[in-house]
Each structure stands twice: as C-alpha cells, then as structure tokens.
Amino acid sequence: MTRVFTICLVLAAWFVTPAAAQKWPEQPVKIVVPYPPGGNIDGAARIIAEPLQASFGRPFVVENKAGAGGLIGADAVAKAEPDGYTLLLGANGPILFAPEMASRRAYEWRRDFAPITMVSLTPLVLQVHPSVAARSVKEFIELVRREPGKLTMSSPGPGTTNHLLSELVQSKLGLSWVTVQYKGNAPATTDLIAGHVNFNFDQVSVALPYIKDGRTRALGVTGSQRTSWLPDLPTFDEQGFPDIVGATFTGLMAPAKTPPEIVARLNAELRKILTDPLVKSRFTALGADAVPMSIDEFRQYLEKEDATWLPLIRKMGIKVD
C-alpha cells in the first residue's frame, strides 16, 4: 500500500510540474547579485529587471548578497528551490572561478545551475603608464622579452579575470613580469597612474577615462573584436596574437532542475530585451555590450571559458579563503 501511495505522489508531481511552469510567474522573482550595490553586475541586473517585469507582469527584484568573491550569493541560488523564483546574475568569478579557488567546493556550475543566457560582455584592455616605451602589443612583448621579470603589473586581486588574463599571457607567450596584488581596482589603478607600476589589464569600462585623458596608453583590446568605446584600438588577434582573448561576462542562471519551460521562457524574453536599442544603450553607458545567446550557445561559452581558466587556476594553486 505504501509503495502504491509513493508511486501516486511521484505521478502527481510529474503532472503538476508542467502546469506550474505554465502559470509561472505567480509571485515576485528574485535576481540575486553576489556583489554589493553599485558595480557593473549590479547595474546589469537592474537594467534587465525592469523590462522583465514589464514582460511577465510580476516584479523582478534585485537582491545583493555579497561575500567571498561572489561565492555566498551564488551558493544561495544553487541551493534555492528550483521553481523559477530565485535566479543568479553572475559573472566569471562566482560562476567559474570562486568555487575552484575556495577551500571547499560549494557548487559546480554544470551540476548546480541551469544556464539561461549571457547578458553582457566587457573586454579588457592592456594599458601602460606613459613612461613605458611601447605603443603596440608587439613592442610591449619585445620590451618584456628584453627585460624579463623587470616590468610590474597591478592586479585588483588574486583570481580576478585581470590577474588570470595576465597569467594566461605569460604562459602562452613565454613572458615574465612581477604581479603586484591590490585589494580592488581603485588602488591598482591609482598606482598605475602614479607610475608605481608599469601596466595592467583592466576592463575597458574602468580604463576608458584614464586612456582618454592620457594618464595611461592603451596598446590592445583582449576581446574577440574591437570595442565601440575604443574603435581605433586593434585587438591582440589583429596584432598577431590570436590566442589572447579575455572578457568579463555577466550571465543569468537558475538553480539546476528548474523546469525547462521556465528557463526557455526566460531565455526567449531576454533575447528580445537585449536587442532593444534602449536596453543596449544602457549597457553601453555601463561600459558593456548586451550579448544575448541561446541556452546552448551560453552553455558552450561557459564550457570554453571553463577549459581556458580552470586549468590555469589549478596549475597556479590559487586559493582564496
């Protein structure tokens, strides 16, 4: 009798789930941002929340849950009920890097999340202090090779995209320089402008004011194509270094086992939203490109990023408590 009752419960749940997915959303949807208010990821979440609310007729509320490099907020979403009412707007760090660098692996994106779509992409730029005698990526690399271990690079912290891109460049091109770790972009940029360090890799959105007023000199962009903010600056690829690609992405994720119908509806609606000229202009003002993807395209992107960066983190033994 107990076995029959259990089977009935399973069958009931199987029939109810598609119906619940069709009615979704019946209450406010929470978008968790694993960083404090005010940053690029928080800004991206607030840009998409408003049109999502208009599309689905329910509030999409941004909740900031910061800590441990994004690990705390992302872990909370991974363990949330997979009913479509708790989502993660994450980036390279919390989705890929943070669980690998933590002393205890809290979650794994393939197992614990359902990718919905990429939201935005921000390339990085190699910028040098004006005293550095290089005006192209090629000249910079030649300078490093002539003086290995002499130049200094400012990093906003261990395991950031900026830091890992620097390590990738050294590994792929056989270069060597000294990395100076700071606690965030602000002090790293301050010391670069002051000439206490020679160069860094930074998000275009952060570097742009200093490049425009001549306090730093941009040598190359690390995106797969030129950026609209610096249209005359060639990519590393264009300058003869095709393997050097790095960018900060934001992407929307749901807990694993979220009904695929909900994930598909969110993907379809966001792909429309992210092609809207007004939304695109808001991302441009944030220093990013709106980049909608299909679910499969986003998953393939994450797989490629995983294969590029996680072996590097393991090889370097980067751990952040």
Tokens of 49: 């929340």
pLDDT of residue 18: 66
Close Cβ partners of 279 (under 8 Å, ≥ 6 residues apart): 47, 48, 51, 273, 290
pLDDT of residue 17: 56
Close Cβ partners of 118 (under 8 Å, ≥ 6 residues apart): 249, 250, 251, 291, 292, 293, 297, 298, 301
The closest alpha carbon to 40, from 222, 284, 271, belongs to 284
Query: Across residues 109-120, what is the average pLDDT?
Result: 98
**Count of CB atoms within 10 A of residue 314's CB?**
11
- If one compares 7 and 299, the residue with the highest pLDDT of the two is 299
pLDDT of residue 19: 67
Task: Look at residue 2 and tell me whether its pLDDT is greater than 60.
Answer: no
pLDDT tens, residue by residue, 127-137:
999 999 999 99
Confidence label for 222 from pLDDT (cuts 50, 70 and 90): very high
pLDDT tens, residue by residue, 157-213:
888 899 999 999 999 999 999 999 998 888 999 999 999 999 999 999 889 999 999
Confidence label for 224 from pLDDT (cuts 50, 70 and 90): confident
pLDDT of residue 38: 85
Q: For residue 251, give the 3-state DSSP assignment.
A: strand
- If one compares 176 and 229, the residue with the highest pLDDT of the two is 176
Average pLDDT over the chain, rounded to whole? 92
Instruction: Tell me how far apart the alpha carbons of residues 98 and 206 are, in angstroms, rounded to a whole number.
Output: 22
Whole-number Cα distances in Å, 258 to 40, 77, 187, 255:
26, 11, 41, 6
Task: For the chain, give the longest Cα–Cα distance.
Answer: 82
Whole-number Cα distances in Å, 64 to 73, 205, 321:
8, 21, 21
pLDDT of residue 68: 86
pLDDT tens, residue by residue, 3-15:
544 444 444 444 4
pTM equals: 0.86
Query: Across residues 276-292, what is the average pLDDT?
Result: 93
Q: Which amino acid is at 164?
A: L
Confidence label for 286 from pLDDT (cuts 50, 70 and 90): confident
Strands 178-181 and 152-155, how do they pair? Answer: parallel
Task: Look at residue 321 and tell me whether its pLDDT is greater than 70.
Answer: no
pLDDT tens, residue by residue, 7-60:
444 444 444 456 667 799 999 999 999 998 988 899 999 999 999 999 999 999
The closest alpha carbon to 45, from 60, 57, 59, belongs to 60
Is the fold of 2-121+249-316 the same as that of 123-221?
yes
pLDDT of residue 158: 86
pLDDT of residue 130: 98
Superfamily (CATH H level) for 2-121+249-316: Bordetella uptake gene, domain 1 (3.40.190.150)
Whether omega for the bond prior to residue 255 falls within 30 degrees of 0, making it cis, is no
Superfamily (CATH H level) for 123-221: Periplasmic binding protein-like II (3.40.190.10)
Instruction: Looking at the chain, list the stretches that DSSP marks H as alpha helix, in order from N- to C-terminal side.
Output: 2-23, 40-56, 71-78, 92, 98-101, 109-112, 137-146, 161-173, 185-194, 204-212, 260-273, 277-286, 295-316
Confidence label for 138 from pLDDT (cuts 50, 70 and 90): very high
Each domain of the chain, given as residue ranges in start order, spans 2-121+249-316, 123-221
Instruction: Tell me how far apart the alpha carbons of residues 199 and 205 are, in angstroms, rounded to a whole number.
Output: 16
Tokens of 241: 């270094």
